[in-house]
Structure 1
Amino acid sequence: MARVRLSVAERREELLNAAVAQIQQRGVAAVRIADVAAALGVSNALVLYHFSTKEKLVAAAFTHAADGDLAHLRKLLGRRTSALRRLRAAVRWYAPTGSAKGWRLWIESWAAALREPALREVAGELDQQWKAALTEVIAEGAAAGEFPCPDPKAAAWRLTAFLDGLAVQMTSYSGSLSRSTMLTWTDDALARELGLERAQLTASSR
């Protein structure tokens, strides 16, 4: 059966989705242009027409996947409720036990970024956007008197570093901690950074 003719934007999205899947399956180092082409039943030349090198394809695929998670984070943080409720919802979603899909891809990108400048630049920019989004809402809650956090930016950095570290552990050593333990630790970390008791944090979600 003949393939449906796609617009340039549709074709790029198809290629990026396939690249994300292949990277998650094979890893950044092992994935090839040929793997992405084979997954879609297209030629290597078609992939190279849209992304002239593997490095550009990988960087674009990572951006494509991370942008989706960033959009969802901003949706959670933009809800019409208290900053504390928004932060807890966002952090529990972002945590390794949450429903964010990009952990394996993020970890792959961190490793590959040590050797690939293009991916390092992209990953660094996206990481800053995560921290900036959290910083903004922490600052909003502190200004409103919801919690006594004196340095929202530092709190956002420490919190994301904690969650990133847990994600590496949980992805590398699946099953080493229970979901309930992970969520308890996540709440503890958030409460600590906001200057609250854990009971105050959990009460905010009732």
Structure 2
Amino acid sequence: MPSKIGAGPARPASQSLHDGDATQTRERILDATFRRLVAEGYAALSVREIARDAGVNHALINYHFRSKDQLVIAVLDAVNQRLLARQASMYEGSGGFAQKWAAARRFYEDDLASGFVRLQAELWAASLSNAELREKFLPRLLAWKKLVLVGVREALAAWQAEGGKLPPPFTAEVIACWVSEFWLGMEFADLLGVKEEQTQHRAALDAVGWLLEALDAKAAKAGKPRRSRP
């Protein structure tokens, strides 16, 4: 039977098995690195200890990832891509702005509990004194900010469509900046366990939810159902 266009030549069974083993090895290394980063941080990260946790020879880590920085970025990408897809799917679903905002808050609590927020903070801190790591880390961080900007643009357009009007300085870019930087600051406060600020942050998140509920109610009263993003 001819192969599909673009599928390439069939590989020997031994090669397929080898590739499968390599994929499993890579996944074990990524999982072990994630757990080490969350538990001990970037500064204490040891390739030999990761290899021991993953049950592989440490030379395999160099083979698959070449350097420690390449390894930690691969860990970030493995988690980041899944979470960005989760966020985008939520944005594109049905429901009002307030509902999406509530979902985003639940996602954040999940990410805090899973260790992803700690992982991102560790790499941010490490990149301050590591130019090579910073060059790789920043595009991943900016991807989240771009996602926020898309959501704010849609919310602002909906607000204006319902007769709302903001002064010219209040652009989508400015509001998205507020949201993104507030959220990043909240993450560091949560990681440090600053209880007083945690209470204030939750109150601020509640206030935004209230504003979005008001926008949803206004749209519903006008009889204009829509799909929306927070």
The correspondence for 1:162, drawn from 182, 207, 213, is 182
Measured after TM superposition, the shift of residue 44 of structure 1 is: 0.6
Q: Percent identity?
A: 24
Q: Secondary structure at the match of 2:143?
A: helix
* Paired letter, 1:18: A
Matches within 5 A, 1:93-108: 93-95=106-108, 98-100=109-111, 101=114, 102-108=116-122
Contact 2:98 / 2:213 at 8 angstroms: preserved in 1?
A: no
- The change in CA–CA distance for 1:136 and 1:199 in structure 2 (over 3 A counts) is closer
- The change in CA–CA distance for 1:183 and 1:131 in structure 2 (over 3 A counts) is same
Q: Confirm whether residue 187 of structure 1 aligns to residue 206 of structure 2.
A: yes
- The change in CA–CA distance for 1:84 and 1:11 in structure 2 (over 3 A counts) is same
Measured after TM superposition, the shift of residue 158 of structure 1 is: 1.1
Measured after TM superposition, the shift of residue 127 of structure 1 is: 1.7
TM-score (structure 1 length as normaliser): 0.79
What are the Cα deviations for residues 112-149 of structure 1, in whole angstroms up to 9, with x where unaligned?
Answer: 01122232123211221111112112212222336656
- The change in CA–CA distance for 1:121 and 1:187 in structure 2 (over 3 A counts) is farther
Q: Which has the higher helix share?
A: 2
Q: Secondary structure at the match of 1:81?
A: coil
Partner Cα distance (1:74, 1:87) in 2: 13
Contact 1:135 / 1:152 at 8 angstroms: preserved in 2?
A: yes
Measured after TM superposition, the shift of residue 168 of structure 1 is: 0.6
> Number of residues paired by the alignment?
192
Partner Cα distance (2:45, 2:212) in 1: 43
Partner Cα distance (1:151, 1:136) in 2: 12
TM-score (structure 2 length as normaliser): 0.71
Matches within 5 A, 1:171-186: 171-173=191-193, 176-177=195-196, 182-186=201-205
Q: Provide structure 2 residue ranges, at least 5 long, that are not aligned to the other structure.
A: 1-16, 219-230
* Paired letter, 2:68: K
- The change in CA–CA distance for 1:55 and 1:198 in structure 2 (over 3 A counts) is closer
CA RMSD, Structure 1 to Structure 2 (Å): 2.9
Contact 2:98 / 2:212 at 8 angstroms: preserved in 1?
A: no
Q: Which has the higher contact order (CA 8 A, sep 6+)?
A: 2
Which has the larger Rg?
2
Residue number in structure 2 paired with 1:109? 123
Matches within 5 A, 1:75-154: 75-90=89-104, 92-95=105-108, 98-100=109-111, 101=114, 102-144=116-158, 145=161, 150-154=170-174
Residue number in structure 2 paired with 1:43? 57
- The change in CA–CA distance for 1:66 and 1:199 in structure 2 (over 3 A counts) is closer
Contact 1:139 / 1:152 at 8 angstroms: preserved in 2?
A: yes
Contact 2:76 / 2:119 at 8 angstroms: preserved in 1?
A: yes
What are the Cα deviations for residues 146-200 of structure 1, in whole angstroms up to 9, with x where unaligned?
Answer: 66564222212211111111111111126x1497754322132x36xxxx74762
Partner Cα distance (2:215, 2:33) in 1: 39
- Higher mean alpha-carbon deviation, 11-20 vs 36-45, is at 11-20
Contact 2:189 / 2:198 at 8 angstroms: preserved in 1?
A: no
Partner Cα distance (2:67, 2:59) in 1: 11
Contact 2:41 / 2:122 at 8 angstroms: preserved in 1?
A: yes
Contact 1:104 / 1:171 at 8 angstroms: preserved in 2?
A: yes
What are the Cα deviations for residues 61-98 of structure 1, in whole angstroms up to 9, with x where unaligned?
Answer: 122222222222112212122345324422x1354xx2
- Higher mean alpha-carbon deviation, 101-110 vs 177-186, is at 177-186
Q: Provide structure 1 residue ranges, at least 5 long, that are not aligned to the other structure.
A: none
